[in-house]
């Protein structure tokens, strides 16, 4: 059995309130409050101590010998870092937007990511770098890179997380079990098969890596290592901790990386990077995870029945369950978290619909006038276009946003309540499929800021709903770095 994450439960309750989010473009914030902008910003060498933010700001003095843990999140448009201590207090955090490099008429994402990871290392305050004991990274799920197994250099442009390869889907469906997670055009396996069928040369020396794997390789130098969260969509079976026989029988199986648990120490930081940036000799690099898993870890939903609903452009839910649930028809699949399962699904409803109808200012003013304890009689299915994935699987489902009442307050109330009903139906479906029944919901994303919506959802779900104390995936990656450092001491 892979190494356990259960110890995180014990220090999560000790976490102090998170520090404020950093600014746009490139920014860094030590929790003493000093913010620095711009790619050429230099840390303040006079800063010796940090402060935990919140209502009762208090000095946090690092004790002699105390270590810090660095997590980096590579999202769709930029990357963030978070630096925490063993209690989970954030000492520094920052973000970078990806610089755009062009290769012909396409964006050279590999160069953008490579530049960004070293920019983030540069953004970590100089006085903290010698204290960093471990590093971990999360990346976007199913972002796939085919590299040379000898040099690590990409052999093909990256397949991005949302890129579909329908040409490979019939072949994948012919070898995989019915309704398996890989039976989706955007799965990592479909991307691998598409490349395999297109490329005529260099197949023998090729290696598949995920975005987080490749970025971590830049730091530790050992090619071919992944984690079982990233490897899920290439067909890895985390329940038996191996690739299934039907996948190993394929001619491209030699491209598959070795797999270990997220947060497992791989090796020490490469010497040239350590000396360039001033990290310690014993700083280790640990396997990562996907961005959504890292965000879930950050929300401290550590017990079965705890869930995180992300109210962004779409509505995504993740529920910690004692049972594994898989059904590609609904886009439902389970990631392993030690001896538990993180069951996920995503609806096309969400904040994108609200943005089409209201400005941010209107949303704020109209929400203030809603009575969240009063049920709305309006029954909508808010979508920006036809098609739904979960909890209803209907590619032709039409948006339903009429009739529209004269009152904008009533209209917004009806939309918010309708999205809450979809959320409730989603959790009910997961229960019907065999997942642990939801007991408490933490909320992340832009919709988490709307207090009236939280109260509406509490009433509709019949459950306690609250904002997640931390929602940044970089924070979850830092927790994995902490996990890896603790394991390497045992």
| Selection from 117, 31, 107 nearest residue 80 by Cα | 117
Q: Assess if residue 35 is contained within a domain.
A: no
Domain extent at residue 445: 301-468
Neighbour count for residue 222 (Cβ, 10 Å) = 14
**pLDDT tens-digit map of 166-202:** 999 999 999 999 989 899 899 999 999 999 999 888 8
Residues 221 and 344 in one domain: no
Residues 254 and 395 in one domain: no
Identify the three-state secondary structure at position 394: strand
Q: In the structure, what pLDDT confidence band is assigned to residue 362 with cuts at 50, 70 and 90?
A: very high
Residues 258 and 320 in one domain: no
Residues 482 and 397 in one domain: no
Q: Report, as an integer, the average pLDDT of 93-121.
A: 95
Contact call for residues 197 and 167 (beta carbons, < 8 A): yes
Q: Assess if residue 47 is contained within a domain.
A: no
Question: Which CATH number is 224's domain given?
Answer: 3.30.420.40
Residues 275 and 318 in one domain: no
Is pLDDT at 4 greater than 70 in this prediction?
A: no
Q: Assess if residue 5 is contained within a domain.
A: no
CB proximity list for 374: less than 8 A, separation 6 or greater: none
Number of domain units in the chain: 2
CB proximity list for 157: less than 8 A, separation 6 or greater: 103, 106, 109, 110
Q: In the structure, what pLDDT confidence band is assigned to residue 13 with cuts at 50, 70 and 90?
A: very low
Is pLDDT at 462 greater than 90 in this prediction?
A: yes
Provide the H-helix boundaries in 41-108: none
Quote the CA–CA distance of 436 and 243 in Å, as a whole number.
26
Is pLDDT at 231 greater than 70 in this prediction?
A: yes
> Across-strand partners of 289?
138
Q: Assess if residue 52 is contained within a domain.
A: no
Is pLDDT at 45 greater than 90 in this prediction?
A: no
Quote the CA–CA distance of 62 and 64 in Å, as a whole number.
7
Model pLDDT, residue 328: 82
Model pLDDT, residue 199: 82
**pLDDT tens-digit map of 16-28:** 333 333 333 566 6
Q: Which of 121-125, 162-166, 174-178 has the lowest mean pLDDT?
A: 162-166
CB proximity list for 323: less than 8 A, separation 6 or greater: 341, 434, 435, 436
Residues in the chain: 490
């Amino acid at each position: 059995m892979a190494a356990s994450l259960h110890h995180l439960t014990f220090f999560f309750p000790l976490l102090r309130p998170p520090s404020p989010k950093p600014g746009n473009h490139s920014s860094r914030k030590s929790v003493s409050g000093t913010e620095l902008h711009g790619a050429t910003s230099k840390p303040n060498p006079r800063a010796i101590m940090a402060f935990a933010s919140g209502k009762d700001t208090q000095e946090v003095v690092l004790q002699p010998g105390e270590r810090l843990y660095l997590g980096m999140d590579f999202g769709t448009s930029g990357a963030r870092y978070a630096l925490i201590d063993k209690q989970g207090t954030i000492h520094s955090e920052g973000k970078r937007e990806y610089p755009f490099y062009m290769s012909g008429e396409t964006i050279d994402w590999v160069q953008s990511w490579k530049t960004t990871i070293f920019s983030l290392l540069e953004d970590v305050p100089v006085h903290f770098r010698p204290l960093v004991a471990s590093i971990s990274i999360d990346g976007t799920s199913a972002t796939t890179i085919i590299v040379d197994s000898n040099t690590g250099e990409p052999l093909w442009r990256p397949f991005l997380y949302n890129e579909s390869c329908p040409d490979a889907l019939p072949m994948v469906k012919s070898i995989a079990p019915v309704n398996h997670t890989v039976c989706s055009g955007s799965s990592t396996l479909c991307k691998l098969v598409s490349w395999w069928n297109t490329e005529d040369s260099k197949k023998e020396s090729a290696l598949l890596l995920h975005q987080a794997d490749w970025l971590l390789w830049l730091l530790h130098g050992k090619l071919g290592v992944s984690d079982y969260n990233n490897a899920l969509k290439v067909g890895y079976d985390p329940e038996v901790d191996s690739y299934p026989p039907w996948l190993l029988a394929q001619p491209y199986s030699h491209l598959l990386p070795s797999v270990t648990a997220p947060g497992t120490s791989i090796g020490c930081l490469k010497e040239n990077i350590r000396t360039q940036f001033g990290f310690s000799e014993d700083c280790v690099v640990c396997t990562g995870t996907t961005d959504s898993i890292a965000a879930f870890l950050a929300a401290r939903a550590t017990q079965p029945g705890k869930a995180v609903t992300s109210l962004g452009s779409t509505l995504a839910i993740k529920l910690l369950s004692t049972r594994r649930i898989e059904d590609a028809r609904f886009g439902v699949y389970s990631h392993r978290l030690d001896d538990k399962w993180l069951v996920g699904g995503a609806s096309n409803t969400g904040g994108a619909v609200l943005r089409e109808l209201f400005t941010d200012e209107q949303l704020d003013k109209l929400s203030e006038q809603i009575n969240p304890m009063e049920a709305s009689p309006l029954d909508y299915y808010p979508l920006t276009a036809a098609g739904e994935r979960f909890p209803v699987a209907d590619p032709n489902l039409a948006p339903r946003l009429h009739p529209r009442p004269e009152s904008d307050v009533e209209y917004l109330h009806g939309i918010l309540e309708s999205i809450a009903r979809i959320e409730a139906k989603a959790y009910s479906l997961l229960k019907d499929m065999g997942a642990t029944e939801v007991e408490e919901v933490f909320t992340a994303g832009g919709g988490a800021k709307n207090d009236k919506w939280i109260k509406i959802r509490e009433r509709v779900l019949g459950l306690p709903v609250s904002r997640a104390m931390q929602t940044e995936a970089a924070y979850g990656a830092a927790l994995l770095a902490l996990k890896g450092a603790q394991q390497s001491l045992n």
